[in-house]
Structures are given as structure tokens and as C-alpha cells.
Structure 1
């Protein structure tokens, strides 16, 4: 069975815009100019599908810089509540069994 990917949604730039631009640059690898353009176009997805831990770390970096970010599940497009267990108690709306959805049932290693 294919693993779901998790994307990071940048919701708002926040008050510390320069720090947020640098965080977007760190997460995406874009230039400062393109990072600023991406930040100005919020809400926008800033990462492609990735492992939950990678997406969670990227969202943490953005939030530490003052931006508002969320992690989205590619299977069911739900917003993942970081640090919760289960992350989202609602059933998965994707085509896979709910017990396989990491948005509902995170791995035991987290």
C-alpha cells in the first residue's frame, strides 16, 4: 500500500515577515525574492508531498518564524493537528482503509 504524503500549507505571513521569508527559503530552497513572493501569496502550499515528520518539521520552522502553517494529508486533505494522538479522530475520507491513514492513526514511533 502506498504511503500518504503530507504537504505544508502556509496560511499567513505573520508579524515577523523577514523571519518568515527566511523560514520559507529554508523550507523550499527558493531565493529570498521568490520566498517573499510565495509568502505574499499565502495561503499557499509550500512543500510537495513528503513524510509526516518532514512536513511537521517544516511547519514548525515556519511557525517559529511567526508564520501560520498547517500540515495537510494527501490522502484525505485533512489538516493534521500537530502533536495530537490521534492527530484527527474523524474517519479518513480517502480511498484507503481508515486504520491505514496516518492522519487518523499516527505511527507508534511518533
Structure 2
């Protein structure tokens, strides 16, 4: 069974739009024009589903540029905190992944 992916959702552009466009370009490889369009379309997915750690790293790059982001589980659609626990503590409602194994419910510890 394939592990669910996590994508970065651009929630709001923030005040530093030039920095935000540069960060989007860095992460996506889009042109300046396409990056600005994506920023103006918030909320919008910035990354394709991928590993939780990669999504959290991408969210950090965007947040450092002033963008408001969320990391969303592609499988159960819950928002995951970049810290140690979920923002949405409800049970995983995905159709194939066991709730006790959902990484949105139980992000990996930083010690492992």
C-alpha cells in the first residue's frame, strides 16, 4: 500500500509579495508570471503530493518569505502542523490507510 503524500497549500500571500513570488519560483520552477498568478489565486496548492518532510521544508521556505501556508495530507485532507503534532486532532478518515498509521495523526518524532 502506498503511503499518502503531503502537499503545501498557499493560504495567503502575506505582505512581502516580491519575496513570496521568488520563493514560489524557487520551489516550483514556474515563470515569474505564473508564480505571481499562483500567489494571486490563494488558497492554492504549491507543491504536488510528496513526503511529509519535503512538504514541511517547502512550507518553511514559503513562510520565511512571508507566505501563510498549510501542509495538507493528500489522503485524509487534514492540515498537519510543522511541529510534533497534528493541527487537526480528529481521527484519520482516509479510505485505505489505517488510522493508527496515518502520518497526519502521528508525525515522525525528531529523535528517530
TM-score (norm 2): 0.91
Gapped regions of structure 1 (runs ≥ 5) = none
- Cα deviation, 1:19-57, whole Å, max 9, x if unaligned, reads 000001111111111101110111101111100011001
Residue 86 of structure 1: how far off its partner (Å): 5.2
Q: Describe the SS at the equivalent of 1:69.
A: strand
Contact kept in structure 1, 2:6 and 2:49, CA below 8 Å: yes
Residues paired across the two proteins, number = 110
Query: What is the alpha-carbon distance in structure 2 between the residues aligned to residue 7 and residue 73 of structure 1?
Result: 7
Gapped regions of structure 2 (runs ≥ 5) = none
Contact kept in structure 1, 2:84 and 2:107, CA below 8 Å: no
Query: What is the alpha-carbon distance in structure 2 between the residues aligned to residue 107 and residue 82 of structure 1?
Result: 11
Task: Give the aligned partner of residue 107 of structure 2.
Answer: 106
RMSD in angstroms over aligned alpha carbons? 1.5
Query: What is the alpha-carbon distance in structure 2 between the residues aligned to residue 21 and residue 67 of structure 1?
Result: 9
Task: Give the aligned partner of residue 73 of structure 2.
Answer: 73
